[in-house]
Chains A and B, each alone.
Chain A
Amino acid sequence: MSEQFTTEFEHIRPQLRAYILRMTASVADTEDIVQDTWIKASQNIGAFQGHSSLKTWLFAIASNLAKDQLRRKKRWTEDCTDICRQEALGNRAFFEEAMHIRQHSPQGHFEIKEHIAFCFTCIAKSLPLEQQLALLLKEVYGFKIKEIAEIMATSEAMTKYHLHTGRSKMIDIFERRCALINKEGVCHQCTELNGIFNPKQNAQVELVKIDMAREAGNKDKEALFDLRMQIVQHIDPFDSDAAALQLHHLEHNRTVMEAYLRNNPSAPEETV
């Protein structure tokens, strides 16, 4: 194994970790999959022909490992943030832990834009897995259609289909639910949590700093989704100022949703 490969893997590792976390919503699973990607890539680097970039090849290995793990798990529901909020309201320990992180962790800040990225991770888990992957790879990590087709081991036509369908669904969900872009939207958790963690802040003042919220009345839903994606692109969920707080929140949501889906057999299973 060459030193160059090790250096390049370490360069790509942060993106790979964030990508797998956004697929699995589990820090432990993410660390396992990234480690397994390293092992598998190290064992097969001799067979790597260079037909694609090393980054594309590594994302393909990691995607397959993640898909293997997620194959038998049910997809989340598009109202997952409502379900998790309801559970959190009855869970005093959750808020005590969160407040402890807020007060003591250097990555315990709360920012609305960080929660927007967190919210995207949760809602995207309601898409069929192939659509979630295509969306993440294109909109967050900037891969080209041809590269995504290689990563997902499918045709460019089907990649376009998964991407378009996933994006359309996400736009529809946010347009209906997100109070930042729709005054009738039922979900305003980001501003609600801002009131809890940053009680001295005026949420409206904070929202003016966010392009997507500021432009809500001026731009169409496609453009607003692009602005949402710009927020997600610029946040590393492991390395942001709010990482500790949001990872704690994500672990809570994953635990709640796994229990919810176990108790609701009608929820859709993955079919990859």
Chain B
Amino acid sequence: MSTSLSAQDSQASTIRTTFSRSTSVSTRIQADPAIVWALLTNAGDYARWNSTVLSIEGDIAPGEKIRLRSTLDPKRTFKLKVKTFEPEKLLVWGDGMGKRTYSLQTLDEGNVLFSMTEKIGGPLFPLFAKMIPPFDASFDQFAADLKKEAELIQRK
């Protein structure tokens, strides 16, 4: 299996404006979307396979609140609400400052395109923009970890 970037893979990239910042990544995963979705929605299991997440408490389910700790800012606990939950398609969580969107798109047989975007912003964004670390490396790692784990499970 090739590990190079295909046309549908992309390294993380960030678009900045005065009042917002948006980071995106996508990767093609050779696994059943049910497996990818299960990995994305099992809160208690994240830290086992995802090296960018320290912990997620709560249920990743429609309308639920979760508490996320990330390696990007280990001392901070993000309190987030699950805003959209469409099994095997779309997951969105966020707070007043921003939102994280995960989407799955079924490709040819046995493949799924995973995309992740985080958009943060608002009128006060310029005041704290410099305090927020870049997400690109973390996003690349998240996508690589998800791909590795999902494909490992698929091959079982």
A contacts, CB < 8 Å to B:
145, 155, 157-158, 160-161, 163-165, 168-169, 172, 268
When A and B form their complex, what is the total count of cross-chain residue pairs whose Cβ atoms lie within 8 Å? Answer: 32
Interface stretch (choices B11-19, B72-80, B95-103, B148-156): B148-156
- Complex Cα distance A155/B152, Å? 17
- Complex Cα distance A169/B47, Å? 11
B153 contacts across to A, CB distance below 8 A: 160-161, 164
Assess the A164–B156 pair: CB atoms within 8 A. Answer: yes
B105 contacts across to A, CB distance below 8 A: none
- Complex Cα distance A235/B2, Å? 44
Assess the A163–B156 pair: CB atoms within 8 A. Answer: yes
Q: List 6 A-B contacts (CB under 8 A).
A: A157-B154, A158-B35, A160-B35, A165-B45, A168-B48, A169-B48
Instruction: Determine whether B34 belongs to the interface, using a CB cutoff of 8 Å to chain A.
Output: yes
B contacts, CB < 8 Å to A:
31-32, 34-35, 38-39, 42, 44-45, 48, 152-154, 156
Name which residue of chain B comes closest to A157, CB basis. Answer: B32
Secondary structure type dominating chain A contacts: helix
| Chain B: minimal CB distance from A171 (Å) | 10
Assess the B34–A165 pair: CB atoms within 8 A. Answer: no
B34 contacts across to A, CB distance below 8 A: 155, 157-158, 161
Assess the A165–B156 pair: CB atoms within 8 A. Answer: no
Known contacts A157-B31, A158-B34; 5 additional CB pairs below 8 A are: A155-B32, A155-B34, A160-B154, A164-B153, A268-B44
A161 contacts across to B, CB distance below 8 A: 34-35, 38-39, 153
Name which residue of chain B comes closest to A156, CB basis. Answer: B32
A163 contacts across to B, CB distance below 8 A: 156
| Chain A: minimal CB distance from B9 (Å) | 22
- Complex Cα distance A164/B39, Å? 11
| Chain B: minimal CB distance from A243 (Å) | 33
From A158, A168, A172, A268, contact of B38 by CB (8 A): A158
